[in-house]
Structure 1
Amino acid sequence: MTVILVLVAYTLITGLRTSSLRATIMATLLLSATLFDRRALSVNSLAAAALLILVCDTNQLFAPGFQFSFTLVFIIIVLAAPLQRWFDQFAQPDPFLPRLLWSLPVKCRAWCWHKFSVALGVILASWIGSLLFVAGYFHLFSPGSIVANFLAVPVAFAVLSLGLCSVLTALVSLKITALFNNANWFVAQMMLSVLHHSANLPNGYIYVENPHTLHPPKCELTILDLGEGGAAHVRAGRIDWLLDCGDDSHYNHTVLPYLRSRGINCLDGLLFTHGSARHIGAAVTTIGDFHPALLAESTLSDRSSTRRKLHQWLVQQRRGKGLYLRGDIIRLGDDVRMRVLYPPAGLKRTAAGDMALVLQLETGHTRALLMSASGFSTEQWLLENEPDLRSDILIKGQHSKDLSGTPNFLARVAPKMIVCGALGYGQPVSTLDAWEADATAQGITVFRQDKAGAVHIDIREEGYEARAFLGGQTFRSRAR
């Protein structure tokens, strides 16, 4: 009864978390069975704990913590004992040798291996039970967690024991309590060190993508919603390129979680369209996180301090980059390529956005024109110098000080759909509303990212399909 009261007190102190509440209810039922001389069944106790929690709050069924906690314990109950027995057999002495004839070294070896088998069985069962949720919710596959759990579980038990001792001695002696607290701090630091080194093991963890039932498209294009900034992910088979990366805030909150959710551990290419901090402010962090095989940008220089600092950092790291101008082609696959339309060599412009790389993605019979944050001057140059601008998809950001998406330019490109970036701070929304109305009147489907959020486009041999992350807007078309 004393143990039950202590567990209840601990659960209240920790804030009635699902995991501690589940453990307390299970322990209470198991201990109560002993008090009333009844057989204690772990699975029944687990089911009773789940039922009691759901009676109090049915929404817990959809909470990741509830799902993770109960599934994990169920897997441990079911798998731990069979795994332990399977491992235990490898160090057993000769089965025909009676136990009474075992020598002391044989007994010690068998006892140590049995304890090791019990621990390994629980650790493997917990790893298997957590695998689905860790991969599904966090997109992580972590073989290194087996080593981490094997080393950290005993240390975590010591942390819990020292914490309980500190609580129990608080009313007796503050000096003893301080001693337990200091010991607990030391053991906690030891556990953090174990976890840190386990996480840094080679291939200790990798990011994975949730499986898809449909046949993968020939090319995927995802335009992320970064407000005034920009970033787009291009996937062709197993080739992954990132076009711009946004500033630090948008990178950490949008770009990084998205790339992890797609199971990307390394980028094949990272391309910087121009030097705006809102487009490449997080370049150094992105390079450190994803180690792109190729860095690419324009040969033209601008006055961007962000770009200048990036170049200085690349020189310090002895990291090279590819330089692209009009006419160059970046091949992403057998039938997927990006053609550089702009800028030409020797171009003189003042604003960084007026020197941004303009790319035409071609795959099969489908074209996508990526304008970055180009404005009126870039569009006029393309109208005068590019004979074939026809593209099924137009992806345009917003120039900070200039017009874009002019009627003449849209007439030459003749897109079926446009993905339009959000306006900058202080720019009138009425202007974008009028522009959208004019484009819609021409039969063009417009995805406004201030309403649709990120837009994902699947390009297949027979056509392409676009889906907005917000609002449910979709567009399906057949290639020309």
Structure 2
Amino acid sequence: MWALMHFIDNKNSLLETMKWNLIFLAWVIGICTLGLPQAHYVSRWSVLCSFILLGIALLIGYAKQYFLQLKNSQILIHILIALAAFFVAISFADHQLQQRLSLRQTQVHQAEVVVYVDRMSVLNKDNKQQILQVWDASHQQMVHWFARIPAKQPELQLGQYYRVTGQVRPAHGYAIKGGFDQEKWFLQQNLMASFQVKQFELLNKSQALTQSSTSFVQRHRGFLQASRLWIEQKRLNCRNWLMQSPLRHRGLLLALLTGDESLLDDITQQQFQNLGIQHLLAISGPHVLVFAMLLCLVLHHLIARFCPELYLRMPKQLLLSLPFLIGIWVYCGFVGFEIPALRTLLMSSLIVLAMWCQRRLSVFTTLLASAALMLLFDPFSMLSVGFWLSYGACFILLRVYQTVQQQPQQVLLGHFQQCRYYLRLLFESQGKIFIALLPLVMLFFQQLSWLAPLANIIAIPLIGVVIVPLNILATCVWLLSPSLALPLYHVADAAISILLVSLGTLQSAIPVEVQQLHFTSLQIAVLTLVIVMLFLPKGTVPKVWLVLGCLPVVLPVHETQPFEFNVLDVGQGQAVHIRDQNKQILIDTGGTRDEQKFSLADRVLLPYFSSRGISSLDQVILSHLDQDHSGAFPRLNEKMPVKQLFGSQRPQGNLPSFDYCHAGQRWVSKNIEMQVLSPQEDDLANAEYQQNELSCVIYLSYKHQQAKTHFLIMGDAGTQTEQFLLQKYPDLAVDVLVLGHHGSRFSSSPEFLQRLKPKIAIASAGLHNRYGHPSREVQQRLQQAQIPLLNTAEQGSLYFTVTDEGSLNYAAARNARLWLHP
């Protein structure tokens, strides 16, 4: 009987755990639909769907209790409740998104606003970056703006009000697959605009009150605001003190202490990135736990010394659990409530709550519950890479720990055997973590350092066991007496020197460069499935399945469409990617004013090609050598193999096979025919002096079952070249026209547009560019000719495909997420 009751209790406990796991998982998945247009439509009916599902669950429960015996009814009820949670999460996430989107600035304009400073700045070479609380008079609400303050301007003081004038710009990045999504980052950080500060004036509270509102000023009063401001002030004081200190590695000490990389030099950052250990610069759970454990250790010794009878009234674990949580909360505030620190706080709170309630929580349930809670408090956390890396790494670490615990215990007699055992354990765990995190690294970073496991073996013990505890202890002493803290900082500084020398020796001994990864989302998903199967208990999955699962990862990428014509969003510039089966062609590369400062190749083009699984280019054509058409090529050529290069001028540097492009050249592949219409070969000698008019004009024809679809790419050619084309090619058929010179008024003449009559015209331009492209005149000409205009500044990257019947279809990158909509 007792055995039967024990079985029933275990079964009920298992069902209860499964129910909560399903609910938490459904909530997390529902929140992850944030920003999807489909989820926005579903959200209108999601609350109704939730009530219907809950009603069905109640009916099944009622029927089961009184007159029906339904098999597995309890599991069915749990699934229905989880589905209801999923639909509620969709509605909640969409509601939060719409609220935040409604507060965004959408136009560039000059503004004078009242701001409150509650966060310290981030120091850069050119300017100071600071998040400011702004009274938005248009919405009558407090919002956050991302301010850039000239380096020569004085620091904005914490806890002060200012009247600030400057230029407000909406968040607008490159809408391209694989590239950094600036709008998403602004949204996740709750930033409604970018603000270029020109001048500011200090205000007292009464002045701020008269120039803003009572609610704006009153929200900065109270204990929580005062404590947060006190912590922020201590962070700033600590940074300023470290800046003035004689410590050699002050930047790394500050980064490991608070996550602030303001003092970190470029060489150290690059070294950590090349070794694949840049994650160690971020504040993680162990940092927070070290401080909380140090606090509890001090309290334990004080209680044991002065009040030992407290341990007779209450178990030590329960007595120290609340100070433990307070320590975690304080350190979370000290590091700016970063996501990994918040995860540690939530997980620790759940564990302490379960301990006080005398309930057992599985590791998986604790992890899921903390993720669900974090997304309940801030659904925009799921937009952060840190959220996925933090929870992914935590789950993997716990899984590795469980596998170690499941291994048969070994009797270790001597110190040598113990050392050998723990070293083997360290190597095995790092290898498993490296493999398990590989899909996340491929998805978010698209590059891999093969030295990462070895570098982690060196860095993690030194940083986690020596440097971070010393750093935290020194800071605690610094709060009392900076002079007494300096020797401790010197010891931590010496440990960092040992770390950097060890890492440098590793790089010298094994000179392996960071490898760029080229995998599609489908390949990464398949690899994830293979890794999950690999970590299952032995014998669960046949080894043949693992081999078959790896085939999609190593085999060439299979594309559903034989042909693509993609006008990429590269800001004020031009880059057109053409794919014919497995042949990859790039016409122009775009480029920024200062490629050393912001590399378009590294930030936009290479991530795009990596996400498409493209590792090399068969052909690159540079229409001319203007910076906005060719500036990114040197870096692209350095990082990516290019078989053939064509251009109206010869670029400098180490080039692949090069030839000048001129009228009469023609290339034919499986589905496309591509030819150069201009310039004439005799005119190439003047290309340096007439770069725009002597741009390479490319005419592309795609052959399908019905006929051909034609694309014309004009480069920066103007009306002179247009007249030449009309005279030499009077029967030129064009379906898609990439406007000359980004839609300048000196190109796209009325006669040219009327004669060609394309189905679609495209302007490749940057938002609010200083040239006004595409010009009003060109827009009027297109409107009069009834030719639709697409602008990469408004639609983002444009991906064209052609069906077998000849139907021309396109997808705009800014339609993929609600926050990207113009």
TM-score range, shorter chain: 0.7 to 0.9
Is 1:446 the counterpart of 2:789 in the alignment? Answer: yes
Correspondence 1:143-158 to 2 at 5 A: 144-157=451-464, 158=466
Distance 2:448 2:657 in 1: 32
Q: SS state of the match for residue 294, structure 1?
A: strand
The 1:37–1:445 alpha-carbon spacing in structure 2 relative to 1, beyond 3 Å, is closer
Correspondence 1:19-34 to 2 at 5 A: 19-27=340-348
Do the aligned partners of 1:163 and 1:184 also contact (CA within 8 Å) in 2?
no
Q: Which residue of 2 aligns with 1:383?
A: 726
Is 1:356 the counterpart of 2:663 in the alignment? Answer: no
Do the aligned partners of 1:418 and 1:447 also contact (CA within 8 Å) in 2?
yes
Identify the match of residue 343 of structure 1 among 665, 676, 679: 679
Distance 1:419 1:175 in 2: 62
For 1:418, the aligned partner's letter is: A
Distance 2:395 2:577 in 1: 39
Q: SS state of the match for residue 284, structure 1?
A: helix
Correspondence 1:157-236 to 2 at 5 A: 157=464, 158-170=466-478, 171=480, 173-187=484-498, 189-190=500-501, 193=504, 201=512, 204-211=515-522, 215-236=559-580
Identify the match of residue 68 of structure 1 among 389, 405, 413: 389
For 1:339, the aligned partner's letter is: Q
Q: Which residue of 1 aligns with 2:617?
A: 267
Distance 1:263 1:453 in 2: 21
Do the aligned partners of 2:475 and 2:485 also contact (CA within 8 Å) in 1?
no
Note the C-alpha offset of 1:19. Answer: 0.6
Correspondence 1:98-137 to 2 at 5 A: 108=416, 111-112=418-419, 114-137=421-444
The 1:360–1:60 alpha-carbon spacing in structure 2 relative to 1, beyond 3 Å, is same
The 1:351–1:108 alpha-carbon spacing in structure 2 relative to 1, beyond 3 Å, is same
Distance 1:181 1:108 in 2: 28
Note the C-alpha offset of 1:154. Answer: 2.1
Distance 1:384 1:447 in 2: 27
Q: SS state of the match for residue 163, structure 1?
A: helix
Q: Which moved more, 1:233-242 or 1:406-415?
A: 406-415
For 1:137, the aligned partner's letter is: F
Q: SS state of the match for residue 346, structure 1?
A: helix
Identify the match of residue 295 of structure 1 among 645, 657, 669: 645
Distance 1:268 1:433 in 2: 35
Distance 2:723 2:567 in 1: 24
Q: Which residue of 2 aligns with 1:468?
A: 812
Q: Any idea what the Cα deviations from partners look like across 1:319-345, whole Å, max 9, x if unmatched?
A: 6512222121235x4333421121122
Distance 2:443 2:646 in 1: 33
Distance 1:169 1:41 in 2: 38
Q: Which moved more, 1:113-122 or 1:25-34?
A: 25-34
Q: Which residue of 1 aligns with 2:626?
A: 276
The 1:409–1:256 alpha-carbon spacing in structure 2 relative to 1, beyond 3 Å, is same
Note the C-alpha offset of 1:233. Answer: 1.6
Q: Normalized against structure 2, the TM-score is what?
A: 0.47
Note the C-alpha offset of 1:60. Answer: 3.0
For 2:642, the aligned partner's letter is: P
Is 1:416 the counterpart of 2:779 in the alignment? Answer: no
Is 1:13 the counterpart of 2:334 in the alignment? Answer: yes
Do the aligned partners of 2:698 and 2:712 also contact (CA within 8 Å) in 1?
yes
Q: Which residue of 2 aligns with 1:374?
A: 717
Distance 1:277 1:263 in 2: 27
Identify the match of residue 738 of structure 2 among 389, 395, 401: 395
Distance 1:22 1:343 in 2: 60
Q: Which residue of 2 aligns with 1:243?
A: 587
Do the aligned partners of 1:219 and 1:235 also contact (CA within 8 Å) in 2?
yes
Q: Normalized against structure 1, the TM-score is what?
A: 0.77
Q: Which moved more, 1:126-135 or 1:270-279?
A: 126-135
The 1:433–1:196 alpha-carbon spacing in structure 2 relative to 1, beyond 3 Å, is farther
Do the aligned partners of 1:395 and 1:420 also contact (CA within 8 Å) in 2?
yes
Q: SS state of the match for residue 164, structure 1?
A: helix
Note the C-alpha offset of 1:402. Answer: 6.1
- The number of aligned residues is 442
Do the aligned partners of 1:339 and 1:361 also contact (CA within 8 Å) in 2?
yes
Distance 1:16 1:401 in 2: 48
Note the C-alpha offset of 1:251. Answer: 5.1
Q: SS state of the match for residue 647, structure 2?
A: strand
Please, what is the CA RMSD of the aligned residues?
A: 4.0
Q: SS state of the match for residue 474, structure 2?
A: helix
Note the C-alpha offset of 1:137. Answer: 3.4
For 1:211, the aligned partner's letter is: L
Identify the match of residue 78 of structure 1 among 395, 399, 409: 399
Q: Which moved more, 1:168-177 or 1:281-290?
A: 168-177
For 2:782, the aligned partner's letter is: E
Distance 1:379 1:226 in 2: 25
Q: Any idea what the Cα deviations from partners look like across 1:347-406, whole Å, max 9, x if unmatched?
A: 267521110111112232322111111111111111222254213222223279763333
Q: SS state of the match for residue 288, structure 1?
A: helix
Structure 2: gaps (5+ residues): 1-292, 297-323, 524-556, 817-822
Distance 1:11 1:227 in 2: 38
Q: SS state of the match for residue 646, structure 2?
A: strand
Q: Which moved more, 1:367-376 or 1:268-277?
A: 268-277
Distance 1:143 1:397 in 2: 45
Distance 1:318 1:246 in 2: 18
For 1:163, the aligned partner's letter is: N
Note the C-alpha offset of 1:431. Answer: 0.9
Do the aligned partners of 2:710 and 2:735 also contact (CA within 8 Å) in 1?
yes
Note the C-alpha offset of 1:411. Answer: 4.5
